[in-house]
Structure formats: structure tokens, C-alpha cells
A and B are shown apart, each in its own frame.
Chain A
């Protein structure tokens, strides 16, 4: 222990590592920002609701029923949140596998965003577990339910979090000034990337595969044996839209940290991403049409759920796809951002249609989340943003690595 401490301390120009850490933990910048004023009461309220939930049971704060056992916390927090975290595996694929160096400057922030999303949204899963003290059973011991898709998804969440932590760890090492650790950790990046992409392929589709056995419960317009493929393909543009959206905010909020060069490059990055989004959405739309035609679902269209389906397909897939194509040709950054937001709304709509809205659409009592479920969901999102901001303000995520870093990973 003392040995490593010494090494770290020496790397840090003689400053004690504990002094350094305690200094970094202190808040920085203005405290009474609009975001803080909104998020602090919501987080406080959310924490109270979480206490009630563990004290009185899930029924005290949620509207879950015996027919609809998975609600907003699974359908939005986990299933939708993980789709939005897909940007990390797509970008690492582009940069480390396809060698598209143009996108290198946004890899770290995307991986950080993805990692935190997994930590918090998989954390939200714990809130939903009735008997969370048994959560280690699928991880250690002799209770492996290996025939379960959820078993696969749980393991993949865990392993992918480790892979993302390794991908991000050079930034932590640079922050701590740990030169030797950084060298070792950045040497592991490629292995982590390849492992991570493989895991992502399987659990992005696995989240869809969770619902394969609920064949009789999901509205036929949203159920097909291809849910896993659709979930995987849509995670590509869900993740990239999130990258565009998050990037446009980070560029303003953390503007001072971004170098002149990267500021200039950002527009070209956004335009490149919009092209990839458009192509992925075209493939997705085409798949949806194939499934629709192949399933002979014409008679379902002229129903309320049919109109809802058409709205999702045309308003939130085809329209943003065309916007992406158009604005890519015209270099219209503003329109790309609009398309990204529309796409994200479409992904939320799609995931909720499979998991909540179309699930037991014919039930006598429909599940509608309580305000408390919404508050906890907001708490999860806000807490994630707090940590995200804390990390960006301290570690070299957006800003350049310290000068002693000579090999860029």
C-alpha cells in the first residue's frame, strides 16, 4: 500500500495523494445554478421515496400490478437508458476498430456517459428488485439460471461496466498523475473495446429478447421474433443521437475546457454522426416494414394502437431519418440537433411501447406510473448528471491530457 502511495504522490509533484483527493472532492464553481436549484429538491424527494419503497414495499410507491409487473423503472430507466448508452460501443467501434480518428476527441466523454448510464440504470434495477439482498445469487454461488435471458443481461451489464471502466481509466490515471498506472491501463484499451462491443451487441439485443416469452402480452404490432435485432439496430442511432445531444450541451456548459482545435472539429463530427444515424435508421425502418408486411398486420393499422404505431414509425423514425439525410447534405447543424431530439423521443416511445404501453394493452386496468415513480426516475437521471459534471470538471475528459502523456490511446 505505502509503496503505491509513494509512487502516486511522487507523480503528483510531491503533493500528498489524500490532500489532493480531499481538495478535488470540494465543489467548484457557482452553486446556485438553475440546474442545481431544480435537481437538489428532486433528488431529496427521490431519496425519501426510495426509503419508503424499501420500508413499505414496492406497492407503496408504484402502480405495478400482478398483470404488469415491470413498469417505468424497468421500461424507461433500464431498457431505454441502456439504449441511449449505446453510443459508447458505437464510437469505440468507429475509433478503435475502424480507425476513424476524427471522432477520437469525443470518445472519452461518450465512454464516461455510457459508464455512468450503466451504473445508474443498472442501479435503478436494484430499486425494482423485491428481494435485493439476493442480487448476488446470479453472480456467485450455485444458483445460475443459465437458460434465462435476464441472466445473460445481468452478467453483460456487470462485465461491460468493467470494460468501460478500463476504457475510461487512463483519464482517471491522468487526473491522479499516476504515470505508470496510465501506461498499463491504456495498454488494456483495445482488449476492453473488443470485449465491450461484443458484450454490447448481445445485451442491447438481449434487452429485447427479455420480452420474447411475453408473446401473448405485447401488442402484435410491437411483438415479433425480431425484437432483439430491432433493439440492437435502434441502439446504434439511439446512442449516437444521445452523443449529438449531449455534445451540443457539453460544448456550451464546458466550453472553457475544450481546445480551439476540438471546438472547430465538433461540427464536422456532428455531421459525420448524422450520416451514420440516417443509414442506421434506414436499415431499422426497412426491417420494421419487412416485419410488418411479413406478419400480415394490415388489419391492425386501423385501430387506436395502429395509429400510435404509425405515429412512431413515420413521425419518430422516418421523419428524423430524412432530417438527418437532408441536414447532412446541407451541413445544417441546427437541424441535426432537432433530428437527434426527435430520434431520442422515438426511441423512448418505442421502448415504452414494447415494455409498458403495448404490454397488456388489453388489460382492464392499465398501468400508469405514479408521480413517485417519475420522481425516482428523475432522481436517477439528475444524480447521474451530478457525477458526470463532477468528473468532467476534474478529469481530462474534454480538456487535453496533461503534457506528460506522450502516447495518445
Chain B
């Protein structure tokens, strides 16, 4: 049995199977609490696997990938088990045993061939520029790493983020931007992650950037947390955009902003919130705009409900992943005009849910709130 899983043996035995993780698990709810699609079920499968009572099969692997890796189960676990870490390591273990799932193979192929998980042409990486008015600048000390999801799936947001940063500072685009490798991490493929992340780091270093700013928490984690895990050096600093904006605010580098009549709710992305412990900064950025009313969602901060957009679950079962996002919309307070978040994957999945449900609601990135206020100021 894989050493990766053996390292978790005590935790797998320590789990009391109490089931407190079950009612809050997004994939559990979306699958009518089908046992092996909940954290408790996954722990039982891994217990069987580590004791050689079960064999590593595709079905078992699929159950372990029926998870958004949101980490809410770890918050609820009365035994304090790091369930999300166990599940990501279980994916690594199964990958190392040669278990291949078609949706992961497809994502891997797309990144290797096109440099993004969506199979969009690599040469169209900056097509989002056509959705805004800013001219591309490719040289500077600070680089904007837009990320695949904003670049290809939220082009207006990508244009707004770039426009905002250009108004605040001298930021440039990373001409050879590619995938950061985070999807490989979620797939349990650390070799794939290392290869792709190293490629991304080399691009940034070769172009001479000293600071990299990214609106994507997955990219931010890849360049910092995952690079550290793999022992990869990087010769530049990395800032996750909402935190960077918060710092600019505290340094007095932002003009007074106002937007009247906007009532918003903030959705905590799992990657930024539970995984990076970033809860206050995005809220402070929103509140910095006078006239905006910020309301909390039912389920917020550490106890935020997942939107279904993480863990590559959407590539495995898009209908269920979107159903999770539709359920998340029920946590909205009344009469909000916009749902603000700080993760491209959340923005995509929540936008799909909004379209499916057919409600009038804007889904915005935190940076877009400032962009809108600043654009009004300039006009």
C-alpha cells in the first residue's frame, strides 16, 4: 500500500465515523448523501484501502474525486482531522498507483497541449483584452498573472481587473502566461504539477518580474504553497489580488471611492477562505467603497458553503457541481444586486447557477467593485 496513505493510518483509524461531516458536505448533499460520496464514506474507503481490504479501483478513485476539496468537513470534524489534506493525499496515492480517470486525463492533455485546462488556443490567451479599453503592456517590474479561468471564461472580468490595476499602478501582463499547474495538484499528479509550475515560474523569472499579482487563489497557492511543498525556488514575490488591494488601501494609495445603491453579499471562496485564511481583506476592500452595503451570506467565513466549482469536480460531474452552486444562491440575503467573490472558478460556477435559476444578479470579482467605482470617479 502506498506510503502516502500509510502516513495517514492513525487518522483513518481515529475517525469515529460520527458523520458530523455529512450534512454540510456539498457533494454529499448533491448526491443525496450517498455514503461513499460524503467525507465519512471516503474515510471508510481509505480505511479499507490502507488495510488492504479494498483494492484501488477506478470506482474508488471516482468516489475520492467526488469532492470539491472545500475543506468544510475538516472544520466540522470534532476529532480535528485534516480531512481535506487526507483527501488530496489520497488522490496522490491513487495517481501514483496508476489509477487513471478519464476526466483527469482530459484536463491533463489540455494543459500539456494548450497551456490551459479548457482546450482554448494558447495564442488566444489575451483575447480578453478585446473586452476592455486598456492597451497591453508587457514590460515592468510588477506582473499581472490573470490565470486561465479569468482569461478564457470571464474575459470582461479579466479586462476590468487589468484596467483597475493600470489605474492604480504600473502593472504589466506576463506575455508567455500559461497554466500554473494547480489542476495537476487537484488531480493528485505531483509530477505534472512540478513540471507545469516550474514552467510558469521560469516564464515570470525570465521576463524579469519582481512581483506577481494574481486574482486567482489557485494560482496564488500554486506559486507559494505548492512551490514550497515541492522545494521550488522562485525569484519574485506573489500577491493574491484582494490582499494586495487591501495593502494599497492601508498605504493610502487608493483615492476615495463611492458607489451608491449597490447592495452586495460576499461569497468566501474555499481556496481563499478555509485554505488561505483570507476572510477580512476582501470584505475590507468592498467596505472601502462608500455607499456600498455589504451583507453576509447564510454560511460565511470558515462556515461558508462551497459553490461546487473546486476540486475539479465540475470536470467529473458538471450537473451536480452546478446544482451545488444553485443551492449556494439560496444562502443569499434578500434584495442584493450583486454577489461578490474573489475566485474565478466561483465566479464561473455561480454565474452558471444564476443563469440557470434565472434571477437578476450580477456576479462580480472584488476588484470589479473598485473598478466600477474608479471608472465612475474618472468619468
The answer on A and B forming one complex is no
B residues with CB within 8 A of A:
none
A residues with CB within 8 A of B:
none
